[in-house]
Amino acid sequence: MNTPHKPAGLPVVAVVIGALFFIGLVGLMGYGVLRSGDADRDVLPSALIGKPAPEFALPVLHDPSVTVDAAQLRGAPYLLNVWGSWCAACRDEHPVLTRFAESKRVRVVGYNWKDEPADALRWLEQFGNPFFVVLADQDGRYALDWGVAGAPETFLVDGQGIVRWKYTGPLTEQVVQEQLLPALAKVEQAR
């Protein structure tokens, strides 16, 4: 009489490997959940930090017959703010940017990106114009050189034309206090 064979169980090594894989997967998922609350989770550091700001020559939004280039902005620090009338987050950021610009601590240069001039002018008329000058990059050509992926984005450039700080997303009072002002203080000390 044949006795039925009991099926062999999983080898101990396979069970241990499976358990380690499961524990690792749970740990990775836990890290992802914790990281999802980090506001900077999607932000890649700018390759421009510590390097010369890209060269550009752009028309002034309010008078397209006038062109401003990178060399004309050198000599004193400036904050370059990328925005568009189509950008909802830019509207949220605007009061914060306006309060910062009113301090007159540094020139705030508007970089109107991929926008219709009439829409941009109407937007500034409605919400106010905190900018020293507004440059218009309607086709977005120079934004590629800056590494702009979306609006708003803000760059701090020192008087020698070196990018010292970048922020992706709308400026908030917290970002201004905890990041922008300390970066600006370093630029001012280096003068």
pLDDT recorded at residue 1: 59
- 110-139 pLDDT, tens digit per residue, is 999 999 999 999 999 999 999 999 999 999
Place of tokens 């114009």: 129
Please state, in angstroms and as integers, the Cα–Cα distance from residue 45 to each residue in 57, 74, 100, 166, following that order: 25, 23, 23, 8
Distance in Å from the first CA to the final CA of the chain: 97
pLDDT recorded at residue 66: 97
pLDDT recorded at residue 12: 80
Q: Can you name the residues that pair with 53 across neighbouring β-strands?
A: none
| pLDDT higher at 11 or 93 | 93
pLDDT recorded at residue 16: 76
pLDDT recorded at residue 41: 45
pLDDT recorded at residue 29: 65
| Segment (H or E) for 24 | helix 12-35
